């Protein structure tokens, strides 16, 4: 562990004292006050900060103290937790205001101490009631160190406290201050310069609320809340009135009447999640990446009373359906019927609150897709051309994208599909695949030409750019959605083929192309519109109403280009006043333990299995949202699921609710009594209402707490701290090592590789260790061969 400290930071007193008292004594590094970044992902210098052995940071002084005590075998207790909460919410704001007043403004220390009468009286009385030498018992705990460290800059001498008024507190300050660990911490931080050592740090902080002039009583007695924000009389009156009205004063839940249609002078929100493909069963990654994320937002919109419609359904046309039909010996329509029912059942069990869950094999899909196609054709945004395609001579058919696999031409991933590589995410033309194979018969296909229709994206690029700029600036686009979209445009848009040599799909309404259907990525997003048309005959009020409707799309990152470029270009080119996406929310990938979900290999939890585990749907929802892959790929872990359920849900939330209920039952006969609100109570209610308004605003605007880390900055840090890496060497075996010894070394090295992967170590290090493992395996194989001879 490394403890990072800086000159004149008040929070360092308690941290240094806690480290010394617990005997941990981490390496201490003094950081320059000019350094912009201490914690790599935070702007500024949140000191003190503790760098943990796993590379994570703690940058709350109280959390660091608690961590030291926990490692020392003195974990958190209810009593210490209550004191730490009081220190943060009551004592520290008051002390910070007093300290700045004394040090920066030069007022007398006695005045500042007098202004703290409320918190000091509370401490003194608590010590009297406890009838012990410390805050929670006769033993020094983290609570004593934290509270002492906060008070010390103002109370460096216990004699500053009047003995007749603060006798118990005065004795406690003297006792804790005389501990060797506290004396050493005080000496390291402020002994030579007194409170003035904190002046540079205090000057950089926002000015706190002014202390009462010459006040002899504390905040509690005068009714002034010990917080930075002062509430107005209007806010206090509004809070008191809301409290008096109680539940009767709350807005009534909005009754949803179907069909939900946009309303004038209301906020109208249309929510879609990427249409799940009908040919398989969704796994946990599919569920969190699309439908569950959208469901949470839809529920939030309903709670806010907004006029909202949540639409989804199964994507049923295309190659994958034909493939699945061949595998199961059914017709494509039978496959769609079977799996649509499975999807519907899974989402109902997960409590996904669709307003309507439809499908794309409908008359509305055909009519609307063909109408958009015809409008694009009439406006010159479609053009025919011949393309090279892979044809399987044994199957006597052109191979659509999902009927062929091979090596990715960009990253060499061996199982890339004919349209996109799942590893690097790049789009592929099937003929570019290395060593392609027909997925049906496993034969190598041949290249032949076929005539198709293309969407002329370059002609629409100017319109797309203008719309994108407006949408991204005014809406909520996740960083990966913005990045993927910009990378497509930066590389220059190219014509995209929108037809395929298939039978199962929306027919192309041209005689010359009557044997072809629309390509799924032209056809599928139109499913949002056609599913809405199945829901209500007034679908155009949602989909041709961009001035009154906000459209939110939820999806995984691999779907971004088709929702941010291809689909919008189709609607822009149709020139029919279509509603375009305002906010595009994309996740990264959720993996399973150390690998990918795979139904065929039995790896991972799929939607139909979750119910069989006996774990409630709400637990699954909670955990999937907890590990939602927002900024980077994340992993489902059984151990982590157990930990989060037992700690977060059961211990924290469950026990909190249970204790509150038991308290009401035990002391108030199961009924919360009427309250006579004091001045402080009313101020607290006003502050709670204000915080609730901020909370709602932050929920509406998924605001970032942390700054985005740019690639250039990370690469600079990688070079700066990379050092000189020695080449990885295989574990040394004794000369003439037998197979048993080599097997043991292979096992050890394999464990080493798995450990590095679980820790998400850098790729070069993992690659080097894998190379060493492969070398050992080769030597083991050679040893076994020699033994047989």
Average pLDDT of 738-744?
A: 80
Q: Using alpha carbons, select from 62, 158, 151 the residue that is nearest to residue 102.
A: 151
**Comparison of pLDDT for 597 and 308, the residue scoring more:** 308
Average pLDDT of 235-250?
A: 86
What angle (nearest 5°) sits at the alpha carbon of residue 436, between those of residues 435 and 440? Answer: 140
Indicate whether 222 pLDDT > 50. Answer: no
pLDDT bin (cut points 50, 70, 90) of residue 103 is low
Find where tokens 């103002």 sit. 154
Q: What is the pLDDT of residue 341?
A: 97
How many whole angstroms separate alpha carbon 336 and alpha carbon 360?
Answer: 10
419-447 residue pLDDT tens = 888 788 787 888 999 999 998 889 999 99
Q: What spatial distance separates the first Cα and last Cα of the chain, rounded to whole Å?
A: 53
754-764 residue pLDDT tens = 877 766 666 76
Q: What is the pLDDT of residue 220?
A: 36
How many whole angstroms separate alpha carbon 24 and alpha carbon 237?
Answer: 51
Q: Does residue 642 contact residue 185 with C-beta atoms inside 8 Å? A: no
How many whole angstroms separate alpha carbon 488 and alpha carbon 466?
Answer: 15
Where is 367: in which H helix or E strand? helix 363-378
Phi, psi of 491 (to 5 degrees): -75, -5
* Structure tokens given for 416: 């890339």
Indicate whether 211 pLDDT > 80. Answer: no
Which range (298-307, 378-387, 610-619, 747-756) has the least confidence? 747-756
Q: Does residue 117 contact residue 172 with C-beta atoms inside 8 Å? A: no
Query: For every residue of 383-427, which 3-state class applies, written as one string?
Result: EEEEEEEEEECCCCEECCHHHEEEECCCCCCCCEECCECCCCCCE
Query: Within 10 A of 470 (CB to CB), how many other CB atoms are there?
Result: 12
pLDDT bin (cut points 50, 70, 90) of residue 720 is low
Average pLDDT of 103-125?
A: 72
pLDDT bin (cut points 50, 70, 90) of residue 215 is very low
How many whole angstroms separate alpha carbon 590 and alpha carbon 632?
Answer: 9
Q: What is the pLDDT of residue 691?
A: 86
Q: Is 282 helix (H, G, I), strand (E, B) or coil?
A: coil
How many whole angstroms separate alpha carbon 516 and alpha carbon 373?
Answer: 14
Q: Does pTM top 0.85 for this prediction?
A: no
Which range (22-31, 150-159, 433-442) has the least confidence? 150-159
574-584 residue pLDDT tens = 999 999 999 99
Q: Running DSSP on this structure, what letter comes out for residue 96? A: H
Q: Using alpha carbons, select from 299, 292, 297, 261 the residue that is nearest to residue 274.
A: 292
324-353 residue pLDDT tens = 898 899 999 999 999 999 999 999 999 999
* Structure tokens given for 102: 């004394």
Q: What is the pLDDT of residue 395?
A: 85
How do 446-455 and 496-497 pair as beta strands?
antiparallel
Average pLDDT of 142-165?
A: 88
Where is 9: in which H helix or E strand? none
Cα 66 from chain centre = 26
SS3 content of the chain, % helix, strand, coil (to 5): 50, 15, 35
Indicate whether 223 pLDDT > 50. Answer: no
**Comparison of pLDDT for 719 and 538, the residue scoring more:** 538
Q: What is the pLDDT of residue 285?
A: 93
Q: Does residue 317 contact residue 361 with C-beta atoms inside 8 Å? A: yes
Q: What is the pLDDT of residue 601?
A: 77
How many whole angstroms separate alpha carbon 285 and alpha carbon 635?
Answer: 9
- Report the DSSP beta bridge partners of residue 269: 308, 550
Indicate whether 101 pLDDT > 80. Answer: no
* Structure tokens given for 172: 């406690």
- Report the DSSP beta bridge partners of residue 386: 451
Find where tokens 């906020």 sit. 267
Find where tokens 């946990």 sit. 284
User: Rg of the Cα trace of the chain?
Assistant: 33
Q: Does residue 588 contact residue 581 with C-beta atoms inside 8 Å? A: no
Average pLDDT of 44-56?
A: 80
How many whole angstroms separate alpha carbon 156 and alpha carbon 176?
Answer: 11
* Structure tokens given for 194: 């007194």
Q: What is the pLDDT of residue 713?
A: 58
Q: Running DSSP on this structure, what letter comes out for residue 510? A: S
How do 434-438 and 499-500 pair as beta strands?
unpaired
* Structure tokens given for 271: 């929510």
Indicate whether 457 pLDDT > 90. Answer: yes
**Comparison of pLDDT for 563 and 200, the residue scoring more:** 563
Measured between alpha carbons, how far is residue 4 from residues 17, 707, 709 in Å? 14, 21, 21
What angle (nearest 5°) sits at the alpha carbon of residue 636, between those of residues 634 and 640? Answer: 110
Average pLDDT of 510-525?
A: 93
Where is 739: in which H helix or E strand? helix 739-758
Indicate whether 547 pLDDT > 50. Answer: yes
Phi, psi of 446 (to 5 degrees): -110, 160
Which of 300-316 are b and which e, b meaning 16 or more Cβ less than 10 Å from the residue's Cβ?
ebbeeebbbbbbbbbbb
How many whole angstroms separate alpha carbon 213 and alpha carbon 219?
Answer: 13
How many whole angstroms separate alpha carbon 629 and alpha carbon 631?
Answer: 6
723-736 residue pLDDT tens = 444 444 545 566 66
Q: Mean pLDDT of all residues in the chain? A: 85
How many whole angstroms separate alpha carbon 269 and alpha carbon 261?
Answer: 10
How many whole angstroms separate alpha carbon 669 and alpha carbon 631?
Answer: 48
Q: Does residue 249 contact residue 532 with C-beta atoms inside 8 Å? A: no
**Comparison of pLDDT for 616 and 157, the residue scoring more:** 616
How many whole angstroms separate alpha carbon 774 and alpha carbon 125?
Answer: 68
Q: What is the pLDDT of residue 209?
A: 47
Which range (66-80, 195-209, 257-271) has the least confidence? 195-209
Phi, psi of 589 (to 5 degrees): -100, 145
* Structure tokens given for 626: 């907890």
């Amino acid at each position: 562990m490394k403890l990072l400290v800086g000159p004149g930071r008040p929070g360092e007193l308690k941290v240094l004292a806690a480290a010394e008292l617990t005997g941990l004594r981490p390496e201490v590094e003094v950081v320059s006050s000019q350094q912009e970044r201490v914690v790599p992902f935070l702007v500024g210098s949140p000191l003190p900060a503790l760098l943990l052995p796993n590379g994570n940071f703690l940058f709350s002084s109280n959390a660091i103290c608690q961590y030291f005590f926990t490692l020392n075998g003195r974990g958190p207790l209810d009593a210490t937790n209550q004191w730490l909460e009081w220190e943060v919410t009551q004592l520290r704001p008051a002390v910070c205001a007093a300290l700045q007043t004394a040090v920066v403004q030069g007022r007398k220390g006695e005045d500042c101490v007098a202004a703290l009468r409320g918190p000091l009286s509370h401490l003194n009385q608590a010590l009297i009631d406890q009838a012990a030498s410390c805050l929670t018992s006769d033993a020094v705990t983290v609570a004593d160190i934290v509270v002492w460290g906060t008070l010390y800059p103002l109370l460096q001498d216990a004699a500053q406290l009047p003995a007749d008024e603060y006798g118990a507190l005065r004795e406690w300050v003297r006792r804790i201050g005389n501990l060797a660990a506290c004396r050493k911490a005080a000496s390291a931080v402020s002994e030579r310069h007194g409170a003035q050592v904190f002046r540079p740090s205090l000057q950089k902080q926002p000015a706190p609320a002014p202390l009462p002039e010459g006040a002899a009583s504390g905040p509690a007695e005068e009714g002034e809340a010990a917080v930075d924000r002062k509430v107005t009389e209007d806010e206090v009156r509004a809070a008191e009135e809301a409290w008096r009205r109680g539940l009767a004063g709350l807005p009534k839940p909005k009754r949803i009447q179907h069909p939900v249609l946009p309303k004038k002078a209301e906020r109208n929100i249309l929510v879609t999640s990427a249409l799940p493909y009908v040919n398989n069963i969704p796994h946990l990654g599919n569920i969190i990446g699309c439908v569950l994320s959208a469901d949470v937002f839809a529920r939030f919109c309903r709670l806010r009373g907004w006029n909202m419609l949540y639409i989804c359904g199964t994507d049923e046309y295309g190659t994958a359906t034909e493939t699945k039909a061949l595998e199961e010996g059914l017709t494509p329509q039978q496959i769609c019927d079977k799996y649509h029912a499975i999807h519907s059942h899974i989402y109902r069990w997960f409590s996904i609150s669709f307003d309507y869950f439809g499908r794309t094999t409908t008359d509305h899909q055909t009519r609307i897709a063909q109408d958009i196609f015809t409008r694009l054709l009439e406006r010159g945004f479609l053009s025919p051309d011949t393309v090279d395609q892979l044809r399987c001579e044994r199957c006597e058919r052109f191979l659509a994208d999902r009927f062929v696999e091979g090596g990715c031409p960009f990253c060499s991933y061996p199982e890339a599909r004919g349209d996109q590589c799942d590893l690097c995410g790049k789009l592929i033309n099937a003929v570019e695949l290395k060593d392609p194979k027909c997925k049906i018969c496993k034969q190598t296909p041949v290249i032949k030409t076929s005539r198709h229709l293309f969407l002329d994206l370059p002609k629409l690029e100017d319109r797309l750019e203008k719309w994108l700029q407006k949408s991204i600036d005014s809406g909520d686009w996740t960083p990966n959605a913005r990045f993927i979209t910009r990378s497509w445009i930066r590389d220059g848009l190219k014509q995209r083929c929108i037809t395929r040599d298939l039978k199962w799909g929306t027919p192309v309404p041209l005689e010359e192309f009557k044997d072809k259907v629309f390509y799924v990525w032209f056809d599928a997003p139109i499913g949002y519109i056609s599913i809405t048309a199945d829901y209500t005959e007034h679908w155009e009020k949602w989909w041709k109403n961009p001035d009154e409707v906000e459209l939110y799309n939820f999806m995984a990152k691999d779907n971004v280009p088709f929702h941010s470029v291809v689909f919008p270009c189709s609607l822009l080119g149709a020139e029919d006043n279509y509603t375009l996406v305002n906010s595009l929310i994309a996740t990264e990938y959720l993996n399973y333990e150390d690998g990918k979900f795979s139904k065929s290999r039995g790896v991972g939890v799929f939607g139909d299995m979750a119910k069989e585990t006996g774990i409630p749907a709400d637990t699954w929802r909670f955990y999937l949202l907890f590990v939602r892959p927002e900024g980077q790929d994340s992993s489902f872990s059984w151990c982590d699921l157990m930990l989060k359920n037992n700690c977060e849900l059961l211990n924290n939330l469950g026990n909190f609710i249970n204790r509150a209920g038991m308290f009401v039952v035990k002391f108030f006969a199961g009924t919360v009594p009427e309250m006579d609100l004091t001045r402080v109570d009313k101020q607290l209610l006003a502050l709670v209402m204000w915080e609730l308004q901020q909370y709602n605003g932050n929920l509406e605007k998924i605001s970032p707490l942390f700054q985005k880390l740019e690639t250039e900055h990370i690469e600079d840090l990688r070079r700066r701290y990379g050092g000189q890496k020695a080449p990885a060497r295989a574990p040394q075996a004794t000369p003439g090592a037998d197979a048993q010894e080599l097997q043991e070394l292979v096992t050890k090295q394999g464990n080493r590789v798995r450990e590095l992967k679980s820790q998400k170590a850098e790729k070069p290090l993992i690659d080097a260790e894998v190379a060493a493992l492969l070398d050992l395996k080769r030597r083991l194989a050679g040893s076994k061969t020699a033994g047989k001879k």
